[in-house]
Amino acid sequence: MIMQQDSPENASPGPATTVDPAEVAKFSRLSDEWWDPKGNMAPLHKINPLRLSYIRDAACRKFERNAKSLNCLAGLRILDIGCGAGLLCEPFTRLGAQVIGVDPSASNIAAARHHAEKGHLSIDYRCTTIEQMDPRERFDIVLAMEVIEHVTDVGVFISRCAAMLKPGGLMVISSLNRNWKSFALAIVGAEYVLRWLPRGTHQWDKFVTPDELAHYLSQNKLTITDQTGVVYSPFGDRWSLSSDMDVNYMVLAEGL
């Protein structure tokens, strides 16, 4: 059950930051491995093509672009929150977007800048948090991919993200559902049995259900336009979109 919360107009001020220092330290230790498709970030490399195509296609529908064009995101300003070493930032830059990648981990940002330089890509990487950004900045698209399950206050985090959207902007969120199936597959299976991820990568109690996320989005006047599950097929060794949102899922929301 979702507890009733104050409306944004009446809510008391939230924390100065939703960043969990323990989570930052955890991913900072992996900064040297972000671009290794066979290292600890292998699951992200596996799922990245699906995430990229889903976001690209959604952006092209929203902003009336041709998804087949190599420059289909030209002129769009994208904010990638919790960008890590830039696995999403780089391909969106190649599609013409002006990308700003933010992450509270200095080592992640250093790895991102180094990799972008090697690829001769101009990306605005910042070692900061969504709460520390200039509130006057606005973006056509705000991404929070595999981030909300690591913050200390999801409601405050979503409100900060919503504030960065231009009128009619698009927000894309991916996360993990909270139920016994996700515990069995995302924690026990992925971290302990298959060892896809280092143990302790996720905390099951911090997973966010789609209903809870919908509540936070609605509070901030964001309307969900699409939601989909993301499932892994061991037989095909690939990820695909699905109606099954029990474990991994993605949500599109639009501002007014």
Residue percentage of the chain with pLDDT more than 90: 68
- Residue 189: band (very low, low, confident or very high) from pLDDT cuts 50, 70, 90: low
Amino acid letter for position 28: S
pLDDT band at 10 (very low <50, low <70, confident <90, very high): very low
- Per-residue pLDDT for 236 more than 90? no
Supply the mean pLDDT for the chain. Answer: 87
The per-residue pLDDT for 194 is 52
Q: What is the pLDDT of residues 75-119, one digit of tens each?
A: 999 999 999 999 999 999 999 999 999 999 999 999 999 999 999
Q: Which range (2-6, 35-39, 234-238) has the least confidence?
A: 2-6
User: Domains along the chain?
Assistant: 21-254 (3.40.50.150)
Whole-angstrom CA distances from 92 to 48, 87, 95, 99 are: 12, 9, 5, 7
The predicted pLDDT at position 11 comes to 38
Q: Which of 226, 143, 212 has the alpha carbon at shortest distance from 176? A: 212
Tens-digit pLDDT profile for residues 120-162: 999 999 999 999 999 899 999 999 999 999 899 999 999 999 9
Whole-angstrom Cα Rg for the chain: 17
- Cβ contact 82:145 at 8 Å: yes
- pLDDT of 9 > 60? The answer is no
Note whether 197 and 190 are within 8 A (CB): yes
**Residue % of the chain over a pLDDT of 70:** 85
Please tell me the distance from the alpha carbon of residue 155 to that of residue 10, in angstroms, as a whole number.
14
- Determine which of 30-44, 120-134, 209-223 has the lowest per-residue pLDDT on average: 30-44
pLDDT at residue 35 is higher than 70: yes
Q: How far apart are CA 219 and CA 60, in angstroms?
A: 26
Q: Is the per-residue pLDDT at 190 higher than 80?
A: no
In single-letter form, the type of residue at position 163 comes to A
- Residues 35, 111: contact at Cβ < 8 Å? yes
Task: Kindly tell me if the per-residue pLDDT of 2 is higher than 50.
Answer: no
**CB-CB contact of 99 with 78 (8 Å):** yes
Residue range 195-219: average pLDDT? 82
pLDDT at residue 183, rounded to an integer: 65
Number of H helices, E strands in the chain: 7, 8
What is the helix (H) or strand (E) element at residue 165, kind and residue range?
Answer: strand 165-176
For residues 3 and 231, what is the distance between their CA atoms, to the nearest angstrom?
Answer: 29
